[in-house]
């Protein structure tokens, strides 16, 4: 066992299991992952556990939040974020273990543990999601006005404010009762999507009014919820107004640019190239395929330019500054072309994000149009997960994620020479 220091002075413990356990866990996950994903998606009509797949969680929440205009000003649609305190450590399923830890003086200690799973255990994500699913699903089944998506212990409720808070209270009780789990106070956030309510003070007043109107919600008043009308990160994907989303992506891009600079220390040119290509150039891929492309293309282009500059700098030991502009553009093109076209395969994020966003969003639409299968009794997934959107009629789409999908489709046809099949 070892631990890393977090910014707030707390610890992030992680356990490295024995080689044999890691092997068994990995093979076990490979055996069950497909069936488990189907199980998670098909058990409850208004709650989906995405387990280890964070992208789907963000997309579904984004689509649900687009229905804000259908709700009243007094009881608006909100996205509530909940997280469970020390969820893995406190969860009901136990992995009795003796953890070995070496302290700052090199002394070895044994830490006994008889409860919960461990960060670092390959099977823990599946096991946690699986054992907590019935408790979440049971509560959601009693609150039909609410829908929810979870990425393991990160839970997002999309519901009218009053109904969402009522569900939160019951979930808090049930999690404690069933699983001895507590909701995390610092991660209790409430986001008001859309432009009906764009003043944080107004949103805070609505939130307080909702708490006071129902005495059963009193236990939430002490949790000091974070209120926002700008945006909320959902499973690492920004959902909110354009400005806030761009700020979020800009911060992530800036972190990549800083790290690209750090890699200058690598003296071996080939390793420097490989680390830029495989480690830094791929870092924004997740954001790219889950964030609306028009908002991020310019920011991604800046990261692409930083990576190309770093490669040229290392490759020419800084002589590239004397190149003519046209030659520099040619070099950039060669660096970004795929190997089979004689390039170096440093895929440009600004371009690949369009394809990635298109592919993942099409999968979402395809899933929503997929009415039922053997294990699913849903008559119409789209009415639950894409409220107010007629998926069969593109002209009726109003959710920003669907509009961005239409735009990406058009860009791929006109600018990239793609064809409809």
Query: What is the binding site for another protein (CB under 8 A)?
Result: 1-6, 10-13, 16, 18-28, 30-31, 86, 89-90, 92, 94, 96, 99-101, 103-104, 109, 111-116, 259, 262-263, 265-268, 271, 274-275, 278-280
Compare residues 176 and 406 and give the one whose CB is closer to another protein: 176
Question: What is the length of the chain?
Answer: 421
Q: Cα torsion at 401, 404, 409, 412 (round to 10°)?
A: -130
Q: How far is the CB of 129 from another protein (least distance, A)?
A: 18
DSSP character at residue 81: E
Q: 19 or 326, CB closer to another protein?
A: 19
Shortest spacing between CB 19 and another protein, in angstroms = 5
Helices (H) and strands (E) in the chain, counts: 15, 12
Min separation Cβ 4 and another protein, Å: 4
CB of 182 to another protein, least distance (A): 12
**CA angle (355 as vertex; 294, 305 as ends), nearest 5:** 65
- Would you tell me how many other CB atoms lie within 10 Å of the CB of residue 419? 6
Contacts of 182 (CB under 8 A, 6+ apart): 84, 85, 86, 90, 172, 175, 176
Whole-angstrom distance, CA of residue 78 vs CA of residue 90 = 29
**In the bound complex, what is the minimum distance in angstroms from residue 3's beta carbon to another protein?**
4
Of 114 and 414, the one with the shorter C-beta distance to another protein is: 114
Q: Is 47 helix (H, G, I), strand (E, B) or coil?
A: strand
> Minimal distance in Å, beta carbon 242 to another protein?
30
Cβ closer to another protein: 114 or 421? Answer: 114
3-state secondary structure labels for all residues of 346-365: CCCHHHHHHHHHHHHHHHHH
User: Cβ closer to another protein: 268 or 390?
Assistant: 268
Nearer to another protein, 224 or 268 (CB): 268
- Residue 286 vs residues 56, 58, 188, 261, 291: alpha-carbon distances, Å: 11, 11, 24, 21, 9
Distance CA 230, CA 197 (A): 10
Torsion of CA 137, 138, 140, 142, to 10 degrees: 160
Our CB check for another protein shows the closer of 287 and 368 to be: 287
Q: Please report how close the Cβ of residue 99 comes to another protein at its closest, in angstroms.
A: 6
- The H-or-E segment that residue 260 falls in is helix 242-262
């Amino acid at each position: 066992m070892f631990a890393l220091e977090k910014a707030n002075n707390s610890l992030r413990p992680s356990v490295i299991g024995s080689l044999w356990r890691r092997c068994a866990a990995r093979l076990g996950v490979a055996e069950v992952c497909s069936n488990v994903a189907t199980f998670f998606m098909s058990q409850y009509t208004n709650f989906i556990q995405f387990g280890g797949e964070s992208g789907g969680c963000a997309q579904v929440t984004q689509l649900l939040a687009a229905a804000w205009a259908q709700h009243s000003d007094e009881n608006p649609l909100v996205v509530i974020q909940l997280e469970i305190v020390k969820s893995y450590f406190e969860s009901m399923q136990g992995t009795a273990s003796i953890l070995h830890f070496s302290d700052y003086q090199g002394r070895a200690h044994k830490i006994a543990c008889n409860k919960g799973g461990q960060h670092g255990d390959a099977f823990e994500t599946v096991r946690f999601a699986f054992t907590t699913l019935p408790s979440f699903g049971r509560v959601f089944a009693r609150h039909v006005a609410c829908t929810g998506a979870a990425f393991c212990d990160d839970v997002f409720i999309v519901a009218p404010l009053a109904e969402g808070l009522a569900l939160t209270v019951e979930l808090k009780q049930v999690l404690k009762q069933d699983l001895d789990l507590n909701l995390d106070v610092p991660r209790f956030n409430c986001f008001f999507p859309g432009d009906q309510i764009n003043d944080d003070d107004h949103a805070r007043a609505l939130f307080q009014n909702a708490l006071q109107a129902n005495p059963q919600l009193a236990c939430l008043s002490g949790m000091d919820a974070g209120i926002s009308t700008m945006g909320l990160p959902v499973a690492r994907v920004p959902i909110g107004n354009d400005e806030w989303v761009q700020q979020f992506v800009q911060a992530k891009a800036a972190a990549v640019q800083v790290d690209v600079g750090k890699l200058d220390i690598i003296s071996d040119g080939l390793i420097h190239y490989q680390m830029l290509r495989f480690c830094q150039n791929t870092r924004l891929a997740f954001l790219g395929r889950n964030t609306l492309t028009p908002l991020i293309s310019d920011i991604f282009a800046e990261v692409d330019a930083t990576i190309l500059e770093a490669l040229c700098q290392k490759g020419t030991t800084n002589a590239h500054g004397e190149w003519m502009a046209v030659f520099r553009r040619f070099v950039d093109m060669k660096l970004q072309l795929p190997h089979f076209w004689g390039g170096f395969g440093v895929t440009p994020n600004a371009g690949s994000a369009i394809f990635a966003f298109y592919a993942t969003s099409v999968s979402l639409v395809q899933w929503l149009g997929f009415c039922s299968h053997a294990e699913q009794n849903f008559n119409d997934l789209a009415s639950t997960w894409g409220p107010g959107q007629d998926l069969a009629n593109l002209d009726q789409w109003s959710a920003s994620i669907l509009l961005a999908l239409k735009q990406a489709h058009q860009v791929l046809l006109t600018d990239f020479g793609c064809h409809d099949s």
